[in-house]
DNA sequence: CAGCAGGGGGCGT
DNA sequence: CGCCCCCTGCTGG
């Protein structure tokens, strides 16, 4: 190094290796810090990947201090989520031709880069965009070019191997791993895929642009244009999102007409509706009627009323409840009711100004409401153990040998710190916590200058340092 | 090991 | 509901 020679060390297989490792980590649920829930299925994934591949998630995570949020994608299908996750992790995913439009629309809802970006000529030969920095808006010229290409741009490869199966080749090597231990049904995309994962893997290694194999007739297929159609039969709206994280429960009411304020406050939930197509698709009333969580009055930072909290609970239950019967997993309606009865007042009582600023005075839109529940990081360790049981029943956690309590009923907290995002269910805990901010140490040791924020700590201190004196005093 | 901080049960008002 | 108390986990020296 001393001779000044500059060596360029190149990792030839960096991209493929990187993607493979990422997918492996996902498969092993290693370092996962966010869980997507859809139709009763859970997908432990990484914020980094989601943020990288989706401005939607990036903005969400930026504004949500949750350590391990659980995001319920309400208006998406589990297979769509699986495909999008596979796409984000591997850069490719297999999708049945008939499901292409649906997948694209889902990608647009989540602003998945490469899929959600409207077709436009790529500025240059691209590599995997999914792992590029996620900064920039969709209008950003530096944003990744769309992966879906028109036939003119696909290098004229009509009728290749993927097409014969009527599959859009988006299959990835790592798309094969189970998306979740709670996965109850394998993706149809893979079931229909004749290629083995290894073959797919090899294919990906051979070409980073397997998406280019999108067949011309696939794109010319009528359904492929539904992403530009505002009134597709398939109900596609802004996904109801429930983020379970630290204790906090919020209802975020989004008004598509107030995108600016939403942007200003950093919450990009409304961006889903910023797209006119999607927005219109959701304003046909079907979504609202279906979800029934629309709050009739404008959002106010006030505790939720009974009916509102009921709607909140319902929304969460409904969001978490999938075909596999997540109601049972959640412990039954009664328990859930109790759980969310305990969160009354969380709808607007939060002091998270950054979340609230852009929401005040806005007319609520049910399809744009996001319910944000915070789940403390510590509990995220309980969470996998809890949900590790059968998602279809309550056995998984009610009788779990570790004695884990029901997360929804035991970790919903009511008191929040004005200095940080801390929440607790008891005022005492909050008082103790507040002392950490104020520096108040009301408990002074009578034998030394030691002071403590908690009496118990002082007692411990005395028992360890001044036990003799304390015994003498007690004896006198 | 000591201190800090959080969770939660128990009890009285 | 507030307070007391105990227990527990984490962290830094």
Give the mean pLDDT of chain A. 51
Evaluate if the CB of A405 falls below 7 Å from strand B.
yes
Considering only CA atoms, name the residue closest to the C1' of nucleotide B3. A457
CA to C1' distance (Å), from A102 to C9: 47
Does the structure show a pLDDT above 60 at A71? Answer: yes
pLDDT digit string, tens, across residues A428-437: 788 888 888 8
What percentage of residues in chain A have a pLDDT greater than 90?
0
pTM value is: 0.34
**A314: helix, coil or strand?**
helix
- Predicted local confidence at residue A13, as pLDDT: 72
Distance CA A187, CA A462 (A): 61
> Phi, psi at residue A220, to the nearest 5°?
-80, -5
Evaluate if the CB of A426 falls below 7 Å from strand C.
yes
Which of the 94-153 residues on chain A come under 7 Å of nucleic strand C at their beta carbon?
A: none
- Predicted local confidence at residue A61, as pLDDT: 81
Nucleotide nearest to A464 (CA to C1'): B2
Strand-strand pairing, A70-72 and A34-38: parallel
Evaluate if the CB of A428 falls below 7 Å from strand C.
yes
User: Nucleotides of chain B within 7 Å of a protein C-beta?
Assistant: 1-10
Distance CA A268, CA A264 (A): 9
Q: What confidence tier does A475 reach under pLDDT thresholds 50, 70, 90?
A: low
Evaluate if the CB of A436 falls below 7 Å from strand B.
yes
- Predicted local confidence at residue A118, as pLDDT: 52
| Pairwise pLDDT comparison (A347 vs A465), residue with the higher score | A465
Considering only CA atoms, name the residue closest to the C1' of nucleotide C6. A456
Evaluate if the CB of A463 falls below 7 Å from strand B.
no
CA to C1' distance (Å), from A111 to C10: 39
Evaluate if the CB of A17 falls below 7 Å from strand B.
no
Evaluate if the CB of A464 falls below 7 Å from strand B.
yes
Does the structure show a pLDDT above 60 at A298? Answer: no
For residue A177, which of A72, A16, A33, A22 has the smallest C-alpha distance? A22
What percentage of residues in chain A have a pLDDT greater than 70?
33
CA to C1' distance (Å), from A433 to C10: 15
Pull the structure tokens for residue A295: 């709050």
Distance CA A195, CA A94 (A): 10
Evaluate if the CB of A456 falls below 7 Å from strand C.
yes
A325-343: b or e for each residue (b if 16 or more CB lie within 10 Å)? ebbbbbbeeebbbbbbebb
pLDDT digit string, tens, across residues A136-192: 333 333 333 333 333 333 333 333 333 333 333 333 333 333 333 333 333 333 333
Instruction: Give the mean model confidence (pLDDT) for residues A345-351.
Output: 34
User: Nucleotides of chain C within 7 Å of a protein C-beta?
Assistant: 1-8
Evaluate if the CB of A459 falls below 7 Å from strand C.
yes
Considering only CA atoms, name the residue closest to the C1' of nucleotide B5. A433
Evaluate if the CB of A454 falls below 7 Å from strand C.
yes
């Amino acid at each position: 190094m001393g001779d000044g020679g500059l060596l360029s060390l190149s990792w030839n297989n960096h991209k493929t290796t990187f993607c493979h490792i990422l997918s492996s980590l996902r498969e092993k649920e290693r370092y996962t810090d966010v869980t997507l829930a859809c139709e009763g299925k859970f997908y432990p994934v990484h914020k980094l990947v989601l943020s990288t591949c989706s401005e939607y998630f990036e903005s969400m995570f930026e504004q949500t201090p949750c350590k391990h949020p659980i995001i319920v994608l309400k208006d998406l299908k589990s297979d769509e989520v699986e495909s999008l996750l596979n796409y984000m992790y591997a850069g490719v995913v297999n999708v049945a031709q008939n499901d292409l439009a649906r997948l694209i629309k889902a990608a647009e809802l989540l602003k998945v880069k490469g899929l959600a970006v409207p077709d436009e000529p790529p500025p240059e030969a691209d590599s995997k965009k999914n792992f590029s920095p996620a900064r920039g808006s969709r209008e950003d010229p530096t944003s990744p070019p769309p992966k879906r290409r028109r036939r003119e741009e696909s290098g004229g490869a009509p009728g290749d191997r993927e097409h014969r199966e009527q599959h859009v080749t988006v299959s990835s090597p790592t798309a094969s791993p189970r998306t979740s231990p709670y996965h109850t049904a394998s993706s149809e995309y893979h079931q229909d895929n004749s290629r083995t994962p290894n073959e797919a893997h090899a294919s990906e290694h051979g070409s980073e642009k397997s998406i280019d194999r999108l067949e011309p007739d696939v794109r010319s297929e009528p359904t492929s244009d539904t992403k530009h159609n505002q009134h597709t039969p398939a109900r596609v709206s802004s996904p109801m999102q429930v983020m379970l994280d630290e204790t906090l429960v919020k209802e975020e009411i989004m008004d598509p007409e107030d995108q600016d304020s939403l942007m200003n406050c950093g919450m990009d939930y409304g961006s889903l509706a910023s797209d006119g197509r999607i927005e219109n698709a959701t304003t046909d009333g079907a979504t609202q009627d279906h979800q029934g969580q629309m709050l009739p009055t404008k959002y106010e930072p006030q505790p939720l009323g009974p009916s509102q909290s009921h709607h909140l609970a319902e929304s969460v239950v409904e969001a978490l409840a999938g075909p596999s019967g997540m109601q049972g997993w959640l412990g039954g309606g009664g328990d859930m009711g109790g759980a969310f009865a305990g969160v009354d007042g969380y709808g607007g009582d939060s002091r998270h100004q950054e979340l609230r600023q852009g929401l005040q005075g806005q007319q609520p839109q049910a399809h744009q409401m996001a319910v944000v529940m915070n789940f403390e990081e510590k509990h995220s360790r309980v969470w996998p153990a809890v949900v590790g049981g059968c998602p279809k029943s309550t056995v998984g956690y009610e009788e779990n040998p570790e004695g884990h309590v029901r997360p929804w009923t035991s970790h919903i907290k009511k008191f929040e710190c004005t200095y940080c995002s801390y929440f607790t269910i008891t005022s005492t805990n909050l008082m103790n916590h507040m002392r950490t901010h104020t520096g108040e140490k009301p408990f002074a040791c009578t034998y030394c200058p030691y002071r403590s924020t908690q009496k118990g700590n002082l007692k411990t201190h005395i028992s360890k340092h001044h036990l003799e004196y304390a015994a003498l005093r007690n004896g006198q």
